[in-house]
Amino acid sequence: MREAKQVAEDSKAQYELIVSMISDIVWRYDVNAIGEHIGSYISPVVDKMLGLPDGTIGNSFDKYFSYVHPDDLPAVQEILSEGIRTLEKDKTAEYRLRKVDGTTLWVRSKGSAYCQPDGRVTVFGTTSDITERKLAEASLRNEKEFAAGLVNIVQAIILVLDTQGRITMMNPYMEDISGYRLDEVRGKDWFETFLPKSDRQRIRELFSRVISGTRTKGNINPIVAKDGREIIVEWHDKTLLDPSGKVTGILCIGHVITEHMRAEEEARALKTQLEFILGATKTGLDIIDANFNIRYIDPGWGKVYGDPAGQKCYQYFMGCNTPCPGCGIVEALRTKSPVVTEEVLVKEGSRPVQVTTIPFQNDAGEWLVAEVNVDITERKRAEVNLKASEEKYRLLVDNIHEAIFVAQDDRIKYVNPGALEITGYSEKEFMSKPFAEFIHPDDRELVLRNYLKRLKGEFVPQGYAFRTLDRYGDIRWAELKAFKISWEGRPATLNFLNDITERKQAEEALRTSEEKYRTLVENANEAIVVAQDGMLKFVNRMAGEITGYSEEELTSRPFPEFIHPEDRDIVVQRHLSRFKGDVSQSRYSFRLTTKNGSIRWVEIEAVLIDWNGKPATLNFLSDITERKRSEQELQHANQDLKVAIKQSKELADLAKKANDAKSEFLASMSHEIRTPLNGIIGMTGLLLDMDLNAEQREYAEIIRISGEILLSLINNILDLSKIEARKLELEILDFDLCSTLKDTTDLLAIEAHEKGLELVCMVEPEVPSLLRGDPGRLRQILVNLGGNAVKFTVQGKIVIRASLECEDERNATIHFSVSDTGIGIPADRKDILFTPFTQVDGSTTRKYGGTGLGLAISKQLAELMGGRIGAESQEGKGSTFWFTAVFEKQPAGPVSTDEALTKIEGVKVVAAGQGDRFGEGAAERPAANAKSASWWRRTIL
Ligand code: ADP
């Protein structure tokens, strides 16, 4: 028993050892007869598998299940119960476990259920890690999907035929190009359905060979699409084998090559043509596509560069890894027009070629270029030589700042940068129109004439100047040098133009400014001369005019020769002192001796200047001969005047003396005459008082009148001579102006009455009446004026008027006027009034009598009385004589009756005729006036 037990224990240990060595989980699951879980075992490897500490799961299925992926758990449990129920053997389940670290573990559990005699069911099983297999499966699945996807999208025909040549599968691309759908053709015979009749037999045989295991090369044969189109396809076949190595069918992969073939065919044709041309022209040719792939090369290239297959053009020709800069292909394909470039073929000894890249489109619509490469070695060489020599000259010409042109026909054929710079035109503008248009219109003819002469080989002076027009329309002066040359095989002129505008402008400016000064100097009214080293270096026109010498004469002799000998020293000395900086006496006068020997006075003003780099004097000489002469004349005249004045003074003295003697004589004579005359008049008066007969009376009356006239004349003469001899003295008496006026009026009234004239005397109310002065002389003036008025008036009236001109405390200036309506005085005779012994009209004396002394005496008297005298008159209408006189006012005393009266009336009427004051209606006279009028009135009828 113990032995048996030992054996059992040993076998258990062995068993456990085995189990522990198994990487799979070994497990057991027990249920009772009614299906309740009653016990279980799980080998300890479970903890390792799940990444758990040993012993975590123990033998607990519940714990184990908690690590099963929740999505898979129900299925796992279901399979277990089903296994128990059906007592199935080797039942499997694949499901996921979640490891502690979060990763997923794929496992497969496999169990077999056994029923015990007591009704218990025990399930024995293992669980193994199948994660790796699962991953491999997944990736396989991916690959399959990928392959299927590829089949669907690849631009190639993929076709599967069974061993009988029936279609089992074809991809969408095949559907597209053939127009058939898989469903339509599945199971159908490939050869009958898709191949042209002529090919069927051949291809079928080929197919049989492939099936039988013979390897074939690729095959090209066409298929017929649903619409009858033939499509050429290049085929690659592969037999499909089953796992036992038996052939199950053929996988056919096909590339459609229809376009490609056609292009090739075309290219072949082109090739033949081109090769012929190329051979004839030594021209290389290639055809390149848009990706720089060489599609064709001229056989010549092949010899040099080898096989171009698979090479890009830049690699093949240039050995570069990238397209060449400035590649003509790109440009030609962009512009769809030929492009010409030049390239150097390095591998061929730097052979220069001109490449004409011609874009074209093949039948497939693809754009390609054909490059025609022409050897230009010779041309280049010539060009380089030419360029080198041309460059040399161009460098020269371009750097010349002169303008250089080549003119041919009427155009400019070449122009250098200098010309562009000077004129502002562009080269294009120069070339675009006849060169004459660049020339000033006034100069065109000259330039063209010279141009044509030069072309004919005739002589044309070099360096002539003319005007050009620049781009801005400004005139530019150019100096031209030109030569006849041959330009492109024909005669032309090579022209060098020097821009001399600035020189011309400077010349012009100088000329105008010089002209300005020259004009000034030449037109100066002074002689302007420059003296240096004893000579005149410059003389103006006026210098010649003053001296009478020509310019040559003046400038060719020492200047002192032109100076009056007496003045020479002083002038020379002053001229010299000026050089020593002496500026005193820069202005003085001296005499010149003119060419004709006459003398001219000049006034000189000199300044020191620089003349041609040396000091000189600039002299302004003004001719003062006339001034000198008039000065002298004036001097003489003054002299004469002085003598004359002296003489006239003496004469005046004499005259005065004579006059005084005359006045004295007259005064005494008058006095002497007056005494006997008074006797005559007095006695005649007595005689007239006697009883005389008519005849006697008449004679006596004549004597009286004549006596009185004579007396008045004598009185007048006496007055005048007294006044002239200043012997007349005024009396100073208190008098009443009104009564003086009244007396005078009374005196005049008799005569007026006799002539039937109205006589009015008016005194303005403000005129003071009580005055102090000489009433006798006042009366004399009034009688003179009043008498004249009566005398020269035939009809009408005479108005005597006194008004106040002004007054102060002591004095009053009275204005008197005597107006008449008489003959008046002509305007041109008015100024002779008031001169002694003059009458307006020579006939007056005869007609009116008089001596012409009255007004002269009145003037003198008025002036003696501090007044003035004057007259206004209108010929034929009347005159007004007026005068003023200043009187002292009497100290205030009792107011006289007259005065009182005048105050009432406002206007004093001293004497009046029958009319009113001014000859208007009597009714207008104030009432109070009537009283005074009656009192004073002398009715003169
Ligand atoms: P006569 O004694 O000649 O009148 P007067 O000196 O009084 O001398 O006058 C000079 C001249 O003035 C008069 O001869 C007369 O021609 C002119 N004359 C003076 N008073 C008047 C007057 N009231 N009307 C016209 N002529 C007058």
The string of pLDDT tens digits covering residues 750-808 is 888 888 999 999 999 889 989 999 999 999 999 999 999 999 999 999 999 999 999 99
Average of per-residue pLDDT across 141-157: 68
In this predicted model, which residue has the larger pLDDT, 764 or 364?
A: 764
Cβ contact 319:306 at 8 Å: no
User: CB of 717 closer than 6 A to ligand 1?
Assistant: no
List the single range of 91-100, 174-183, 267-276, 714-723 with lowest mean pLDDT. 267-276
Q: In the block, which residue shows the tokens 């302007």?
A: 528
Quick check: 904 pLDDT over 60? Answer: no
CA 36, CA 32: separation in Å to the nearest integer? 5
Quick check: 422 pLDDT over 70? Answer: yes
User: CB of 405 closer than 6 A to ligand 1?
Assistant: no
CA distances from 491 to 116, 264, 411, 454, 495 (A): 135, 57, 12, 10, 13
Q: What is the pTM of this model?
A: 0.35
User: CB of 817 closer than 6 A to ligand 1?
Assistant: no
Identify the pLDDT of residue 379.
74
Q: In the block, which residue shows the tokens 């008799």?
A: 750
Identify the pLDDT of residue 676.
85
Sign of CA dihedral 443, 448, 453, 455: positive
User: CB of 237 closer than 6 A to ligand 1?
Assistant: no
Identify the pLDDT of residue 283.
65
In this predicted model, which residue has the larger pLDDT, 342 or 277?
A: 342
CA 297, CA 570: separation in Å to the nearest integer? 115
Identify the pLDDT of residue 872.
92
Chain Cα centroid distance, residue 355: 55
Cβ contact 358:329 at 8 Å: no
| Burial grade of 897 (CB within 10 A; 0-12, 13-18, 19 or more) | exposed
What values do phi and psi take at 499, rounded to 5?
-75, 110
Identify the pLDDT of residue 805.
92
Name which of 857, 863, 862, 801 is nearest 833 in CA terms: 857
Strand runs labelled E in 746-902 = 758-763, 770-773, 797-807, 811-819, 869-874, 878-889
Identify the pLDDT of residue 49.
87
Lookup: tokens for 277? 């041309």
Quick check: 28 pLDDT over 80? Answer: yes
Lookup: tokens for 476? 């530019």
Quick check: 876 pLDDT over 60? Answer: yes
Lookup: tokens for 152? 């669907």
User: CB of 880 closer than 6 A to ligand 1?
Assistant: no
Identify the pLDDT of residue 775.
92
Cβ contact 325:302 at 8 Å: no
Average of per-residue pLDDT across 140-150: 66
The model's pLDDT over 665-697, given as tens digits with 9 standing for 90+, comes to 777 777 788 788 888 888 888 998 888 899 999
Q: Quick check: helix, strand or coil at residue 326?
A: coil
Average of per-residue pLDDT across 272-277: 62
User: CB of 788 closer than 6 A to ligand 1?
Assistant: yes
For ligand 1, the distance from its centroid to the CA atom of residue 773, given in whole angstroms, is: 26
Question: Measured from the CA of 833, which atom of ligand 1 is nearest?
Answer: 12
Quick check: 862 pLDDT over 90? Answer: yes
Taking CA atoms only, the protein residue closest to ligand 1 atom 13 is: 839
Rounded to 5°, the CA angle 391-395-397 comes to 115
Taking CA atoms only, the protein residue closest to ligand 1 atom 12 is: 839
CA 637, CA 652: separation in Å to the nearest integer? 21
Identify the pLDDT of residue 275.
62
Most confident of the following: 609-618, 711-720, 731-740: 731-740
pLDDT band at 254 (very low <50, low <70, confident <90, very high): confident
Identify the pLDDT of residue 735.
93
Cβ neighbours around 665 below 10 Å, total: 11
For ligand 1, the distance from its centroid to the CA atom of residue 852, given in whole angstroms, is: 7
Quick check: 472 pLDDT over 70? Answer: yes
Taking CA atoms only, the protein residue closest to ligand 1 atom 14 is: 839
CA 911, CA 932: separation in Å to the nearest integer? 9
Q: Assign 3-class secondary structure to 117-167.
A: CCCCEEEEEEEEECHHHHHHHHHHHHHHHHHHHHHHHCCCEEEEEECCCEE
User: CB of 719 closer than 6 A to ligand 1?
Assistant: no
Q: Looking only at Cα atoms, what is the longest distance across the chain?
A: 252
Average of per-residue pLDDT across 36-61: 88
Q: What percent of the chain has pLDDT over 70?
A: 85
Name which of 863, 870, 883, 867 is nearest 830 in CA terms: 870
Strands 758-763, 797-807: pairing kind: parallel
Quick check: 390 pLDDT over 90? Answer: no
For ligand 1, the distance from its centroid to the CA atom of residue 668, given in whole angstroms, is: 27
Name which of 261, 305, 289 is nearest 370 in CA terms: 289
Identify the pLDDT of residue 147.
64
Question: Measured from the CA of 857, which atom of ligand 1 is nearest?
Answer: 6
The model's pLDDT over 638-647, given as tens digits with 9 standing for 90+, comes to 998 899 889 9
Identify the pLDDT of residue 135.
77
User: CB of 266 closer than 6 A to ligand 1?
Assistant: no
Taking CA atoms only, the protein residue closest to ligand 1 atom 18 is: 788
Secondary structure letter of residue 317 according to DSSP = I
User: CB of 825 closer than 6 A to ligand 1?
Assistant: yes
Identify the pLDDT of residue 940.
29
CA 487, CA 324: separation in Å to the nearest integer? 39
User: CB of 852 closer than 6 A to ligand 1?
Assistant: yes
Lookup: tokens for 929? 């006036």
How much helix, strand and coil, in percent to the nearest 5, is found in the chain? 45, 30, 25
Quick check: 448 pLDDT over 80? Answer: yes
The helix (run of H) or strand (run of E) holding residue 932 is: helix 927-936
Cβ contact 281:298 at 8 Å: no
Identify the pLDDT of residue 2.
55
CA 9, CA 32: separation in Å to the nearest integer? 26
Q: Which residues contact 661 (CB under 8 A, 6 or more apart)?
A: none
pLDDT band at 727 (very low <50, low <70, confident <90, very high): confident
Q: Quick check: helix, strand or coil at residue 797?
A: strand
Lookup: tokens for 698? 């008449």
User: CB of 554 closer than 6 A to ligand 1?
Assistant: no
Identify the pLDDT of residue 906.
37
List the single range of 58-67, 194-203, 575-584, 852-861 with lowest mean pLDDT. 575-584
Average pLDDT of the chain is: 82
For ligand 1, the distance from its centroid to the CA atom of residue 846, given in whole angstroms, is: 13
Average of per-residue pLDDT across 9-16: 62
The helix (run of H) or strand (run of E) holding residue 663 is: helix 625-689
Q: Quick check: helix, strand or coil at residue 90?
A: coil
Rounded to 5°, the CA angle 274-278-280 comes to 120
User: CB of 879 closer than 6 A to ligand 1?
Assistant: yes
pLDDT band at 820 (very low <50, low <70, confident <90, very high): very high
